Amino acid sequence: MRIDQLAPLLAHHLAPCPTLLSLVQRAYIRLQHFHAPFQIRQAFHSSIGISWLGHNESQMEFVAQLKAAVDIVSVVGQYVRLKKVGQRYVGLCPFHSERTPSFNVHPAHQFYKCFGCGAGGDVIKFVMEIEGLTFWEAVRLLAERHGIPLPKSGLGSDPEGQHRNRLYELHAEAAAFFERNLWTPGAQRAREYLARRGIDEATAREFGLGYAPEGATDLVVYLTRRGYTQDELLAAGLALVRPGSPGLVDRFRGRLIYPIHNETGRVVAFAGRALDPEQEPKYLNSPETLIYHKTNLLYNLHRARQAIRREQRVILVEGYMDVIGLHQAGVMEVVASCGTALTAQQARLLHRHADMVIVNFDPDPAGVAATERSIQLLLEEGLYVRILELEDGLDPDEYVRAHGSDHYRRRLQGAPHYFHWLAQKVRTRPNAHTLQGRLTGFRELLLPALQRMPDRVARASVLHEIAEFLHVPLDVLAREMRRLDRAKSQNEPSASAPQLDPKEKLLVNLVLREPSVRAELLGRLEALEYARGWVTWPLLEKMIVLQRAQPEWGFSELEGRLDQATRALLERVALADEMIEPEHALAQARAFIDVLDRQQRRERIIALKRRIEEAERAGRCEEALLLVEELAKLEKGT
């Protein structure tokens, strides 16, 4: 059954399930993106209700123009620290946890590929995956971010995308409502609290701080008048069902409001701080929604990102006010978890932007406990962790107000490595004057933390420093370490892909990169029987077919015609580092094909001579004469 025959059946059976229908629609978008024939697209348009796409081919033309105008390295670089290696850029994959970079971005072909988890695609696919957007949402976001006018015919959408956009708009409206209220007479208590914490008006406005009035339905009434439905207010987590009544009430009432932004700077949630000592809880946070997943966000990351990369470190604090106070004092590279204990996803997010984390949590028991939990995750992520403890029991924002930003920065510079911090705790124990006491402290405090370090070389270096600091023989500590390593082996078998011949990579990359020589090289390779045994032949075969059908093809046209295995091969070859200039590469490629061509002709000549002798011995004179003519033609070309 063809796909155009299958489509009506899918539409009929999936109509009662809009979520599944949306998934099918999104799968179709990828089909269209990979240049499916028009009749298949037309059947799918009408059959599964993609009226938002219609038959407007100009929309896909706009997508092609957008991809040509946007640099994938610049887009990915907003989320991942990239380092240039040869002709490509590498970094830590944002889609899975890793310590050694396996995430590659190729600027010439405008695609990305992770060899750790397999993620890959073009710039639109990257934005879809990193932001959790649909295809058309990603297109719209890229166009708006790069100042590219949208087509007059508009862009497509889908139910999930429309719902997500409504939530973004609703949160923007709510943020503006709260911020306006902060500067009204009714918010006097909130402004007094900010003054006590040393936050001036400019900083409050920069962070979009606001105030939720004490009335039960102030926000509900405001947003309802703006055209939002009760279902949308509930889905956004901004309202609650009133007990015993069909109406809604505001979630946040009589609280100072902190807007929470995603990595692109859009408001996705709120945190409300109680202003009355009797009000519980002290902090009230938005629930998780379609656009807000608190374990995947860090407060202030969208502002701090550039400073983090400039300073090559990130300061991790516990509270919203710590972030705001430090930022106001000029310490910009600071973030906080969004009202929860640090998660593995947040640790990975930190690692995408910096290798060093300075943990500066509050000195109270809750802060100490949070520090310990966070450090374990940061070590497992492979981050370099330092600890900043502030004297006088002050929180970071209190400390910077009391001692100034310069003094705080000096404290940052002197913050000890986590293992030195732990070793100092061992030295202050009552039994630390004995070797056995220090060894016991090492086993209890340091050994479990060392075990979480994935880099064995870095672990050995730290172990050497600890041995000197604690005055314990290095071989004694190393023996303890080996004992744990034997108990918990971290060796895992890994499958290796077939090795690619450098000459094959050279030829394929030339075909990809130099349209002017494609016809020549692909024509010669098609005639070369040797090439059919190459690892890259399945890819070259697709290139030959595409060259016949569409001489002016590009990387995305080729990728769209490949199966998963051949696409993976294309990504491996395209991400190989080209070490010579194009003109030299072309000369080498021609010389390589010439050698193989001569060798192939020699082997054919030998085989023909053998067949001629056999024909003559058997008395097949006519066959022998034909073979002699073929031999003469081949020898003429040697």
The pLDDT tens digits for 369-379 are 777 778 889 98
Domain ranges across the chain? 3-157, 160-292, 298-415, 426-487, 502-634
Q: What is the pLDDT of residues 585-601, one digit of tens each?
A: 677 778 878 887 777 77
106-110: which pairs have CB atoms within 8 A and are 24 or more residues apart? 106/574, 106/575, 107/71, 107/72, 107/73, 108/513, 109/512, 109/555, 109/574, 110/67, 110/71, 110/72, 110/555, 110/556
Instruction: Tell me the helix, strand and coil percentages in the chain, rounded to 5.
Output: 60, 10, 30
Collapsing DSSP to helix, strand or coil, 66 comes out as: helix
Q: What is the pLDDT of residue 57?
A: 63
Mean residue pLDDT across the chain: 84
Residues 224 and 231 sit within 8 Å (Cβ to Cβ): no
> Which of the residue ranges 77-86, 184-193, 213-222 would you say has the lowest mean pLDDT?
77-86
Residue 192 has pLDDT above 70, yes or no: yes
Higher per-residue pLDDT: 218 or 460: 218
Q: What is the pLDDT of residues 377-386, one digit of tens each?
A: 998 888 999 9
Collapsing DSSP to helix, strand or coil, 114 comes out as: strand
Burial of 592 (0-12, 13-18, 19+ CB in 10 A): middle
Extract the tokens encoding 309. Answer: 């990369």
Place of tokens 């929309």: 59
Residue 38 has pLDDT above 50, yes or no: no
Place of tokens 């010669």: 524
Collapsing DSSP to helix, strand or coil, 498 comes out as: coil
Angle at which helices 365-380 and 344-353 pack, to 10 degrees?
A: 70
Q: Averaged over 41-63, what is the pLDDT? A: 52
Extract the tokens encoding 184. Answer: 């009204």
Residues 480 and 408 sit within 8 Å (Cβ to Cβ): no
Place of tokens 């015993």: 244
- CA dist list (Å): 591 to 507, 531, 638: 11, 15, 15
Strand order in the sheet with 111-114: 83-85, 88-91, 103-106, 111-114, 120-121
Residue 69 has pLDDT above 60, yes or no: yes
Q: What is the pLDDT of residue 86?
A: 85
Per DSSP, 291 falls in state S
Is pTM beyond 0.75? Reply is: no
Q: What is the pLDDT of residue 54?
A: 41
Per DSSP, 386 falls in state E
- The full length of the chain comes to 638
Q: What is the pLDDT of residues 473-485, one digit of tens each?
A: 998 998 888 887 7
Place of tokens 């030959």: 544
Extract the tokens encoding 84. Answer: 């240039």
> Which of the residue ranges 202-211, 293-302, 460-469, 560-569 would you say has the lowest mean pLDDT?
560-569
C-alpha angle 312/313/317, rounded to 5°?
Answer: 160
Measured distance CA(129)–CA(108) in Å, rounded: 21
How would residue 516 be classed by pLDDT, with cut points 50, 70 and 90? Answer: confident
Q: Averaged over 260-283, what is the pLDDT? A: 94
- Integer-rounded Cα Rg, in Å, for the chain is 32
Measured distance CA(98)–CA(380) in Å, rounded: 10
Residue 53 has pLDDT above 70, yes or no: no
Burial of 236 (0-12, 13-18, 19+ CB in 10 A): buried
Measured distance CA(324)–CA(256) in Å, rounded: 14
Does the domain formed by 298-415 have CATH 3.40.1360.10?
yes
Measured distance CA(625)–CA(612) in Å, rounded: 8
Residue 8 has pLDDT above 70, yes or no: no
Q: Averaged over 123-135, what is the pLDDT? A: 91
Collapsing DSSP to helix, strand or coil, 268 comes out as: strand
Measured distance CA(155)–CA(379) in Å, rounded: 44
Higher per-residue pLDDT: 259 or 13: 259
Residue 122 has pLDDT above 50, yes or no: yes
Q: Averaged over 327-348, what is the pLDDT? A: 90
Cβ count near 546 (within 10 Å): 18
Question: In this prediction, what percent of the chain has a pLDDT beyond 70?
Answer: 85
User: Closest by alpha carbon to 515, among 109, 204, 243?
Assistant: 109
- CA dist list (Å): 457 to 461, 486, 509, 572: 6, 17, 36, 29
Task: Please name the CATH architecture into which domain 160-292 falls.
Answer: Alpha-Beta Complex (3.90)
Residue 45 has pLDDT above 50, yes or no: no
Measured distance CA(32)–CA(157) in Å, rounded: 14
Q: Averaged over 174-199, what is the pLDDT? A: 97
The conformational region for residue 21 under phi > 0 = left, psi -120 to 50 = alpha, else beta, is alpha
CA atoms lying within 13 Å on the CB side of residue 268: 22
- CA dist list (Å): 375 to 72, 364, 369, 513: 33, 17, 10, 46
Collapsing DSSP to helix, strand or coil, 362 comes out as: coil
Residue 145 has pLDDT above 60, yes or no: yes
Q: Tell me how far the alpha carbon of residue 40 is from its chain's centroid.
A: 33
Higher per-residue pLDDT: 91 or 518: 91
User: Closest by alpha carbon to 189, among 115, 127, 276?
Assistant: 276
Q: What is the pLDDT of residues 482-510, one digit of tens each?
A: 887 776 654 444 445 667 777 788 788 88
Measured distance CA(179)–CA(212) in Å, rounded: 9
> Which of the residue ranges 33-47, 203-217, 318-332 would you say has the lowest mean pLDDT?
33-47
Q: What is the pLDDT of residues 164-186, one digit of tens each?
A: 889 999 999 999 999 999 999 99
Question: In this prediction, what percent of the chain has a pLDDT beyond 90?
Answer: 45
Per DSSP, 106 falls in state E
Angle at which helices 502-513 and 518-526 pack, to 10 degrees?
A: 140
Higher per-residue pLDDT: 569 or 251: 251
Measured distance CA(37)–CA(11) in Å, rounded: 20
Q: Averaged over 282-305, what is the pLDDT? A: 94
CA torsion 47-51-52-57 (nearest 10°) is: 80
Q: Averaged over 215-239, what is the pLDDT? A: 96
* CATH of span 3-157: 3.90.580.10
Q: What is the pLDDT of residue 153?
A: 64
Q: What is the pLDDT of residue 496?
A: 55
Residues 119 and 102 sit within 8 Å (Cβ to Cβ): no
Higher per-residue pLDDT: 638 or 98: 98
194-198: which pairs have CB atoms within 8 A and are 24 or more residues apart? 194/256, 197/321, 197/325, 197/397, 198/325, 198/328, 198/397, 198/401
The conformational region for residue 556 under phi > 0 = left, psi -120 to 50 = alpha, else beta, is alpha
C-alpha angle 32/36/42, rounded to 5°?
Answer: 75
**Which helix or strand (DSSP H or E) is residue 239 part of?**
strand 239-241
User: Closest by alpha carbon to 52, among 163, 153, 158?
Assistant: 158
How would residue 157 be classed by pLDDT, with cut points 50, 70 and 90? Answer: low
